[in-house]
Structure 1
Amino acid sequence: MAAARRAEVRLPPLVAYEGEELEPDGDYDGVRFEAVDLSDQSGPGARFMDCALDGCALDRTELTRSRFIDSVLTGVRGVGTDLSGASLRDVEIVDARLGGVQLHGAVLERVLVRGGKVDYLNLRKARLKDVVFEGCVLSEPDFGGAHLVRVEFRDCVLKRADFSAVRMESVDLRTVAELDIARGVEQLAGAVISPSQLMELAPAFAARIGVRVEA
C-alpha cells in the first residue's frame, strides 16, 4: 500500500482582500480572505495561488474551472458551492462546514481535508491523487466514476457513500471510524480494509455475488 503524499503548504506574507466581487478568470496571488462573504458571487476560471480563506461564506458561490494552488481554506462554510471542473493542488481544507459541494470532474492532487463536516459531496468522475481525509465527516459522498490513487481516509466517518463505477489504486480505508457504503461495494478492488471492516461488509459482498447466508 503506497502512502499518500501529504500537502505541505507554507504561505508567504499575505495581503488582505479588498475587492467587492470575485471576478471571472480573476488572478489572486498571496491574498488573505478574512471572514469575507462570497455568497452568490461568481468567479469561474479564477486562480488562487498562495491564498488563505479564513471563515468565509461560500453559499452558492460559483467557482467552476477555478484553480487553487498552495492554499489553505479554514472554517469555510456554505451550501451549494460550485467547484465543478476545478483543480486543487497542494491545498489544505480545515474544519469546513459545507453542503452540496459540486466537485464533479475536478482534479485534486496533494489535498488534505481535516476536520469538519461535508454533506452530499459530489466527486463524480473526479480524479483524486495523494488525497487525505482526516477526522472529518462525509455524509452521502458521491464518488461515482471517480479515479482514486493513493487516497487515505483516516479516523473519519463515511455515511452512505456511493462508490459506483469507481477505480481505486492504493486506497486506505482501514482506520475509517464508520464505513457505510450505500452503493459500489463491489468496486473496492484496489482498496485495503481491516479484518473487522471485512466482517461488517461481508453481507453486502455476499449479496453482490448472489450468495445467501442462512443459519
Structure 2
Amino acid sequence: MKQNKYDESGFFANYSQMPRSIGGLDAAGEWTAFRALLPELEDKRVLDLGCGFGWHCRYAREEQARSVVGVDLSENMLDRARAMTNDPQIEYRRLAIEDIDFTEGEFDVVISSLALHYVENFDSICRQIYRYLAPGGTFVLSVEHPIFTAIEAQDWHYDSQGAKLHWPVDNYHLEGPRQARFLDNDVTKYHRNVSSYVNALIESGFSLTKMSELQPTADMLASNPAWEEETRRPMFLLLAAVKQ
C-alpha cells in the first residue's frame, strides 16, 4: 500500500504547522540521536528515502556530501523541498519508496527518517538498499518504535482524572498494518517487532553497527520537560548498518 496523505490539502496544512516542519532538524526530537549514527558524509553519494522537506538532504550537503538524491511520493513535500533548496547537487525525485530503482553501488550512504514504518515490505527494501550501496556503505534509519506501534490507538492509558497511568502494549508479535490517527487523519502504519527490523538487515547482508531507542538525557529533560514521557516508553527506534 502506497499512501500519499501529504498531498491531501488538509493533512499537509496540519503537517506544515508541526514544530519539525517549521524548525527543521533542530526541532526534531530524535535528530541528535540520528545524527550520531551517521558516518562521515564528506564526498559521499547520499540517498534519502522519504525526504519530506529535504532537511536531511541539505544537512548532508552542509557536511560536504558529493551529491544527494531525495525521494518522496508527495508532490507537496517535494515542492516545499525544492523551494527551500538552492543547490544543484541535490536532486529530488517523486517516487514511492517501494518503487525505487537505482544501479548497484550507486550510493555510499542511504538514510531514512520516520518513513519506513509506512512501508509494508521492509525486507524487500533492505535488500534493494544493500544492492544500491557501495561496499562499506552505510544505511541509517529511524522508525516509530514497535512498542509505540503495537496498539493502533498509540496513546496512554488514563485514570478517571486524565493522568497517564501507563503505555499499553498488546499484540506485539502480531505484525502487520495498524490504522492509526495522525494529524486528525487515519493513516496506515506497519507494525514490526524489534527483531524483525534487525533480522531483515542481517539477512540482507548488513552488519548492524548501532541501535538506539533514544533514552532522553539529563540535558534533554532539563530543556524540555515533555521528554519525561520518553523515559516511560520509547517512541523511536534508530538503526545503523554497514555493507561489508
Q: Considering Cα pairs closer than 8 Å and 6+ residues apart, tell me whether 1 or 2 has the greater RCO.
A: 2
TM above 0.5: no
Q: Which has the higher helix share?
A: 2
TM-score normalised according to structure 2 size: 0.24
TM-score normalised according to structure 1 size: 0.26
Q: Which has the higher strand share?
A: 1
